[in-house]
Amino acid sequence: MNSVLPKQHILFVQNGIQSVFAKSVSPSVVIPCRKRVYYGSGKHKGGMIGRYGRRKYPPNWRAVNFNPAQIPKAWKPLDWDEKNRIDYEYESKLAQYIPGYKPKVPPHRREDHHDEPMHAIDNETCSSYGFPQALALTKSVVVEGGLPAKLQELQKSLPNPEDKVIKIMQNALLFDVDPCMVDTKNAVKRYKFDNFRHPTPERYCPRILKEFVRLCDAHICRVSDKYHDRFNMQNLPCKTWFQRAEKTSENVDILDVSYDWKVSIDVKTFMQLLSKNPLSLFATPDEVEETKNRELVSIYPKLLIHSIKPTHNYTPEHTTGFLETWHKPHLHTMVLNTTNDHSSKKTMGRMLFHLFCALHSRAVQQYGETPQVLAKPLAAQAIASDGRQFYAMTFQLNTTDLKDDSGVKNMVWTSAPLTDDLQIEDQYTPTLLFDECSPLLSYYPDYYHGYSPDAFATFQALWLNDVL
């Protein structure tokens, strides 16, 4: 477009004088403008005179993007297919002449290609499946009564410094530095109706979680010497894969479906607390054998791999995020940042996948890849928060044999009071740290209301389990 027009752009000219609004007009638009008569006599008073009529569109409308209605371009450009097409022959030639160049190969010729597909769960898609589907995939069962009795006692017995927790909340939400006040180049995005920028959950959620961790660790240092038996790591990757099967229901005939799948989980946790000694179990061996009589959740008519995308390019492996010689390999608790999850049912599904992935990879390291009932089960805890909503969950891995729905099952405890019907969404209630906290709440004395000490009490009970 710019190559057609001359380099000397023509601006609006009114009465021989440049118009005041020439800067707002793009110089590439050329519209012949005529004189406007403000003081005159006769029919031309207040109107237009000149050779050309009142043009609605320029004569060179094919060459110029004349769009006064500001209609966006929603037709497919002609270059789209050529730009997005990968020329594999050209890339193979580049690899001959450029040292170290890795050419793009079609997916069926890559080294990772397998005939059998693998259904992959990622960090982004982890929260799109829901809690019932996660239970059915991991062959786990919800134990009624909330969290285990040991943790409920710790919630009541441990001290709860409310003053410090409220200060943490206020520091993260009220006294946070406004980047707009410091910004001089207008690089920060401003919203229309905000006089100043509120701190977002992406900013205050990790601050609150790290300050809670610091409070709990300070309590350990005062009371015991076991602070150095634990280590807190961030952004640890974790990978596993397993085989899962499902029985067909009557009369169901679906095209191109097999009822034996490979599923892989590849996630990265916000924080993992690793310890020297394993966590004590939450269920007795008798309770573990009672799970044989319980039935799994049914998500009919969905299959277990509902909306999980299959891929033929994968590398099946089991990783815990660290080497086998690490001296603190056992998982104690895991903290998740769920600012982008908009429903509580999905955050709990995410927590379950993270827990199962971490414990399954450790079980494979310890007992091997053959699916079996574990002689010594593995246990772990998880906390997920938005900065305001807190969820707690404990998980015990009893089996890695997931081919059948029968046999021993894995066990889950949650802080939310769940019933047998897990499809009801109102029962997934989180514990709130506060109802509202912002600088606009001037009618409250400290700019917050609805504070509850239960959120920090559950966090502290899970963090200090097996230490005191």
Partner 1 sequence: MAGGITSRWLRQFVQSSLRPNQLCALSVTFRAQTVETQSLCTSCNKHGRFGHRLVKLWEQPEYTTKPLPVYRTGGRLPTKVQHSNEIVPGRVWTKKLGGGDSREWHWVDRSRLTAEEVNAKSYYQEKVIKVQHDDSRSGMIALVAGPKKERWILATETMEAGTIITNSAKMIPDAEFVDGDAYPVGMIPSGTRICSLEFVPGKGAQIARSAGNYGTILRKEGVRVIIKMPSGREINVDEKCVAVIGKVAAGSHSTKWGSPAQKRAHGIRPGSGRKKMGDDRSTKKLTPVAPMVVIGDKKVLQRSDALEE
Identity of the residue, 18 or 307, whose beta carbon is nearer to partner 1 in the bound complex: 307
What's the closest the beta carbon of residue 256 comes to partner 1, in angstroms? 9
d(CA 233, CA 332): 12
Question: Using CB under 8 A, which of 20, 71, 177, 375 touches partner 1?
Answer: 71
Q: Assess 63 for contact with partner 1 (CB under 8 A).
A: yes
Q: Assess 97 for contact with partner 1 (CB under 8 A).
A: no
The window from 70-78, 265-273, 361-369, 450-458 that contacts partner 1 (CB under 8 A) reads 70-78
Identity of the residue, 106 or 445, whose beta carbon is nearer to partner 1 in the bound complex: 106
DSSP codes joined into one string, 321-360: SS-TT-S--EEEEEEEE-SS---HHHHHHHHHHHHHHHHH
Residues contacting partner 1: total by CB under 8 A: 34
Other Cβ atoms within 10 Å of 174 Cβ, number = 17
Question: Using CB under 8 A, which of 75, 191, 193, 443 touches partner 1?
Answer: 75
Residue 399 half-sphere exposure toward CB, CA atoms < 13 A: 26
Q: Assess 69 for contact with partner 1 (CB under 8 A).
A: yes
Question: Using CB under 8 A, which of 52, 57, 90, 196 touches partner 1?
Answer: 57
d(CA 73, CA 411): 54
Which residues, 6+ apart, have CB-to-CB distance to 38 below 8 Å?
46
Burial group, residue 454, by CB count within 10 angstroms (0-12, 13-18, 19+):
middle
Identity of the residue, 307 or 315, whose beta carbon is nearer to partner 1 in the bound complex: 307
Q: Assess 113 for contact with partner 1 (CB under 8 A).
A: no
Residues 237-266 binding partner 1 (CB under 8 A) are 251-255, 257
Q: Assess 26 for contact with partner 1 (CB under 8 A).
A: no
Among 393, 297, 256, 419, residue whose Cα is nearest residue 336 = 393
What's the closest the beta carbon of residue 284 comes to partner 1, in angstroms? 38
Identity of the residue, 3 or 419, whose beta carbon is nearer to partner 1 in the bound complex: 3
Handedness of CA 82, 88, 92, 95 (dihedral sign): positive
Identity of the residue, 86 or 188, whose beta carbon is nearer to partner 1 in the bound complex: 86
d(CA 328, CA 322): 10
Question: Using CB under 8 A, which of 38, 39, 80, 443 touches partner 1?
Answer: 80
Q: Assess 419 for contact with partner 1 (CB under 8 A).
A: no
What's the closest the beta carbon of residue 62 comes to partner 1, in angstroms? 6
φ/ψ (deg, to 5) at 312:
-100, -5
Cβ atoms of 60 and 29 closer than 8 Å: no
Residues 296-315 binding partner 1 (CB under 8 A) are 300-303, 305-307
d(CA 460, CA 114): 46
Identity of the residue, 150 or 306, whose beta carbon is nearer to partner 1 in the bound complex: 306
Cβ atoms of 308 and 263 closer than 8 Å: yes
The window from 65-73, 104-112, 264-272, 319-327 that contacts partner 1 (CB under 8 A) reads 65-73
Among 104, 66, 243, 222, residue whose Cα is nearest residue 158 = 222
Residues 399-418 binding partner 1 (CB under 8 A) are none
Among 68, 141, 94, 61, residue whose Cα is nearest residue 405 = 141
Residues 336-395 binding partner 1 (CB under 8 A) are none
Q: Which two tokens stand for residue 259?
A: 């009822």
Other Cβ atoms within 10 Å of 200 Cβ, number = 11
Q: Which two tokens stand for residue 446?
A: 């400290």
Dihedral, CA of residue 99, residue 105, residue 111 and residue 116, to nearest 10: 170
Identity of the residue, 3 or 184, whose beta carbon is nearer to partner 1 in the bound complex: 3
Q: Assess 192 for contact with partner 1 (CB under 8 A).
A: no
Q: Assess 77 for contact with partner 1 (CB under 8 A).
A: yes
What's the closest the beta carbon of residue 79 comes to partner 1, in angstroms? 4
Question: Using CB under 8 A, which of 21, 52, 61, 444 touches partner 1?
Answer: 61
Among 433, 395, 389, 399, residue whose Cα is nearest residue 414 = 395
Q: Assess 74 for contact with partner 1 (CB under 8 A).
A: yes
Cβ atoms of 249 and 302 closer than 8 Å: no
What's the closest the beta carbon of residue 70 comes to partner 1, in angstroms? 10
What's the closest the beta carbon of residue 144 comes to partner 1, in angstroms? 24
Which residues, 6+ apart, have CB-to-CB distance to 297 below 8 Å?
132, 135, 136, 422
Identity of the residue, 299 or 352, whose beta carbon is nearer to partner 1 in the bound complex: 299
Identity of the residue, 49 or 252, whose beta carbon is nearer to partner 1 in the bound complex: 252
Interface residues with partner 1 (CB under 8 A) are 1, 3-4, 57, 61-63, 65-67, 69, 71-80, 251-255, 257, 300-303, 305-307
